[in-house]
Amino acid sequence: MSLTNFIEIGRVIVIKKGVFRGKIGVIVDVIDKNRCLVDGWASRQIINVKNIKLTKVVIKGIDKKIGSRKLKTKLECNLNLIYRWCETKAAIKYYSNERKKQLDDFDIFKYKIGKQCKNVFLYSN
């Protein structure tokens, strides 16, 4: 199986680290092999490639000189693509892991007990 998600202009991404963690953005320009210019629901900024997660969604018609306002209108026109990505298994898994990271000790304990009860119910004969 070959890699199909490439870093390209118009690729929708999710920011993994930083102030805008979890926000969806679009690659506007590729600076070099380690950095790219990202804009979208987060502010326009240069992000390291290691700090983004690529999605399968690509928005056509985005060039390097596009402004933030035009990009946001283009994103609003393509909201069905964004919603379709949010329903994929990768997005659900990503956001559930983000939710688990925010749990405190007692919530982790409740989660563990609930999981044990579910497994006893499912796998007991």
Provide, rounded to the nearest whole percent, the portion of the chain with pLDDT above 90. 36
Distance in angstroms between the alpha carbons of the first and the last residue of the chain:
39
- Cα–Cα distance, 115 to 95 (Å, whole number): 19
Exposed, middle or buried, 37 (CB in 10 Å: 0-12/13-18/19+)? middle
Tell me the pTM: 0.72
Specify the CATH number of the domain 11-123.
2.30.30.30
pLDDT digits (tens, 9 = 90+) for 30-65: 999 999 999 987 789 999 999 999 988 888 888 888
